[in-house]
Every structure is written in C-alpha cells, then in structure tokens.
Amino acid sequence: MTIRAIRGAITLERDERDHLHERTRELVSAIMRDNALTPDDVISALFTCTPDVSSDFPAAAARDLGFGAVPLMCAQEIAVPGALPRVVRVMMHVDTDRARDQVQHVYLRDAVKLRQDLAQ
C-alpha cells in the first residue's frame, strides 16, 4: 500500500447545516466510490470552507458515513476577492494500491471550475 492524497470540492447553494451535510456526504461518497475506498483506507481528512460557510463543520457529515475513527479537521479558506463562493474542499490521505495517475480527484457542481483539468 502507498499513501496518496485525494482532493475534492463541492459547492453549496446556501449555508444551511442540513444542506452542508448533504453536499459534504455527496462529495465524500463520490471520492470513496471513484477510488474504491472504505473508511478503513482513510488515514485522515482535512476539510476547508470558504468564509461564507459557517453553519457547521463538514467533518460532522463525514462522521455520518463511518469516519468516526478517522482523524478529521476543518479550517477556513483564505478570503480571496472574487473567489468561487460557498465551497467545501477536502484533502483525504489514504492507503491505496493505485498509482498517482490512477487516483480520481472529485470536483462536483460549480466546483468543477476550480480544477477543470481534474474534474470528471
């Protein structure tokens, strides 16, 4: 097994707790599915939100998906003028047999604008 970092992001339509949880679960589930992972494969995850997202911690939604024993952390993105609003990002460190070029980074909804080179 090799340790790899997997990136992902998703946008929110509004800053509401239930909506944040729904979208965070959508993002994390897509990363897990597209990379054939289970929560046991995840070493840690760092979530960030743009400054306009403050209704809850994205990590709380990941715990709902079986990440209770995984070290999770949340932080705030830099407030860059003109940046895409209401974005939740994640960087997951995982144990995988995949080569670096086989890792599937996941950018959903308007977040595809952030990394069109990686978005599927």
| pLDDT tens figures, 30-50 | 999 999 999 999 999 999 999
Residue 39 lies in a domain: yes
Whether residue 118 is contained in a domain is answered as no
- Give the structural domain span for 66: 2-113
Q: What pLDDT band is residue 116 in, cutting at 50, 70 and 90?
A: confident
- Domain membership of residue 32 (yes or no) is yes
Domain containing residue 56: CATH number: 3.30.1330.40
The three-state DSSP-derived secondary structure of 53-68 is CCCCCHHHHHHCCCCC
| The amino acid at 112 | V
- The predicted-structure confidence for 44-77, as pLDDT tens digits, reads as follows 999 999 999 999 999 999 999 999 999 999 999 9
Let me know if 49 is a catalytic residue.
no
Q: Which of 7, 25, 98, 109 is catalytic?
A: 7
pTM above 0.75, yes or no: yes
On whether residue 119 sits in a domain, the answer given is no
- Report the DSSP beta bridge partners of residue 27: none
In angstroms, the CA 120 to CA 115 distance is 10
Beta bridge partners of 23: none
d(CA 70, CA 59): 10
- Look at the chain and report how many structural domains it folds into: 1
Annotated catalytic, 7?
yes
100 is catalytic: no
Annotation says 115 is catalytic? yes
Mapped onto helix, strand or coil, the DSSP state of residue 44 is: strand
Catalytic residue among 22, 25, 26, 63: 63
